[in-house]
Structure 1
């Protein structure tokens, strides 16, 4: 069965075919297009459908559906955008994106499915990635913001007394500061400035500097220590057996791994290894009808 996985971000869309038999992406089919989140609605939707169509045209077999990982707020079950007040895709607010894309792609709306991007990442790592051998997993993404998903047997958990409200960690406070402002690119940049007095423009710059600069390495060590202290009570309460990291900051895992693990109640901590492909895989897995049926109640909660 050939499915399409889609990853929609603030400035891009990526689509790729996924072979469910071989459990792998067909990377030659990947189509990535730039999107300005402030474009008018028609241009955004036309660009999204163009990327997906480009990928579908690569397949020599019938494509069974499209699974899309997209940040919220979003009505993932009905496919309606609720994004507002965040200076991106405001033009789509209230629109039924499921119907709009299905019409452009000439496929039934039932074949177009949506999921939160952090949950898509977690589903991928727990289905074919480093968390596959474990029942309970916490998967986080460290990048523009802090994404998180608590997983039990491949299913995200949102309304459970063992997890924070809606399964979010980004809005938790750490000494009066939102976790999203600490465990993200901007948080890392600020920490580097405190440690070194130097200003970096992005996480990659600090990562590259760490190869020679002891202050950049110290920044990552402090970042790992603080992150571990923050995550520890959530991991313990939930009973997570493994922590999996993704996002661009996780590329520097070697520099903060020891400090992170030292603060945690578990030793099973892994970089996802799926690079930028996890959300694509997680999206594609939605096309499996039996799995989507298992997830349907969860998706309604997102």
Structure 2
């Protein structure tokens, strides 16, 4: 199961002979402002709509801050899932999912990057950096298929979201809420559009909307450039809901990376090949315990 800031997706994944086969999936809308009970109900409803027997084991990919070992939310001041702060999600789901399965949790950026490394845009690459752009900035660093949390060019804990731009937290510039806030300040008659609508306005020539994307993703490039120059990944693969506007994200992002670190040019910057499937495949891969995070 993959949980984003606006949706939850569930699928059966068959793990046999070391390979993963993704079955039918179901997607359910969910907002980051729902209560804990509404959140659990949405996940149970999504799982219940899958065809076939209930799974005996569920691995759930979701964004941090979250205590993945104990299944407890640590969200506070991040604009999403505040109702899960201190909430024991594992116990709640184990009780309500069909068959009372075992439930494990993993970081959504980790599962996304592993899924793209297995089957998508990063397949076959030795070193990979993955980013998810949505309600926040998720990140993962891989070396030969193993998650690394520390080392040259890797921010503390592997978390790009904890970095700063212009003396402010990065997610104050690059996130769903940051883009909406920036557009509300810049536009003469902004209304309350979400990021997808802001992107559509940019494509139609709205200069305020174009400026919002340009400024945000040039800033992200400036932050990423030194990391890429030091870590030297073969590929930077980007997913998440905002990456769906790749035509608006890629040019300022690449320009920012090049401006900050011209020597980072060996890293290929690409969008996800399977943005919806990759987190599900990666979560299943983590569930097999073949990959154990290091660092």
Q: TM-score range by the shorter chain?
A: 0.7 to 0.9
Post-superposition offset of 1:231: 0.7
Separation (CA, whole Å) in 2 of partners of 1:233 and 1:36: 32
1:274 aligns with 2:265: no
Query: Per the alignment, in what secondary structure is the counterpart of residue 45 of structure 1?
Result: helix
Post-superposition offset of 1:271: 0.6
Separation (CA, whole Å) in 2 of partners of 1:45 and 1:211: 37
Q: Do the aligned partners of 1:10 and 1:35 also contact (CA within 8 Å) in 2?
A: yes
Structure 2 residue aligned with 1:114: 105
Structure 1 residue aligned with 2:9: 14
Offset from partner CA, 1:180-236 (integer Å, 9 cap, x none): 111122333455467665536221122112223062445434444322222101111
1:98 aligns with 2:98: no
Structure 2 residue aligned with 1:51: 46
Compared CA separation, residues 220 and 10, structure 1 to 2 (3 A): closer
Q: Do the aligned partners of 2:153 and 2:229 also contact (CA within 8 Å) in 1?
A: no
TM-score (norm 2): 0.80
Separation (CA, whole Å) in 1 of partners of 2:134 and 2:60: 20
1:209 aligns with 2:205: no
Compared CA separation, residues 34 and 202, structure 1 to 2 (3 A): closer
Separation (CA, whole Å) in 2 of partners of 1:32 and 1:23: 23
Unaligned runs of 5+ in 2: 259-263
Offset from partner CA, 1:257-299 (integer Å, 9 cap, x none): 234324341351111032333322222223324x2xx32x55x
1:251 aligns with 2:244: yes
Structure 1 residue aligned with 2:57: 65
**Larger deviation, residues 227-236 vs 272-281:** 272-281
Unaligned runs of 5+ in 1: 1-5
1:235 aligns with 2:213: no
Query: Per the alignment, in what secondary structure is the counterpart of residue 160 of structure 2?
Result: coil
Q: Do the aligned partners of 1:64 and 1:287 also contact (CA within 8 Å) in 2?
A: no
TM-score (norm 1): 0.78
Separation (CA, whole Å) in 1 of partners of 2:162 and 2:93: 31
Post-superposition offset of 1:47: 4.1
Q: Do the aligned partners of 1:172 and 1:178 also contact (CA within 8 Å) in 2?
A: yes
1:281-300 to 2 correspondence within 5 Å?
281-289=281-289, 291=290, 294-295=291-292, 298=294
Separation (CA, whole Å) in 2 of partners of 1:206 and 1:174: 22
Query: Per the alignment, in what secondary structure is the counterpart of residue 200 of structure 2?
Result: helix
Q: Do the aligned partners of 1:9 and 1:71 also contact (CA within 8 Å) in 2?
A: yes
Separation (CA, whole Å) in 1 of partners of 2:84 and 2:249: 40
Post-superposition offset of 1:19: 4.1
Structure 2 residue aligned with 1:3: none
Separation (CA, whole Å) in 2 of partners of 1:72 and 1:275: 19
Separation (CA, whole Å) in 2 of partners of 1:72 and 1:209: 31
1:113-192 to 2 correspondence within 5 Å?
113-192=104-183
Compared CA separation, residues 133 and 212, structure 1 to 2 (3 A): same
Compared CA separation, residues 211 and 89, structure 1 to 2 (3 A): closer
Q: Do the aligned partners of 2:20 and 2:285 also contact (CA within 8 Å) in 1?
A: no
Runs of 4+ in 1 over 6 A off after TM superposition: none
Structure 1 residue aligned with 2:261: none
Query: Per the alignment, in what secondary structure is the counterpart of residue 93 of structure 1?
Result: coil
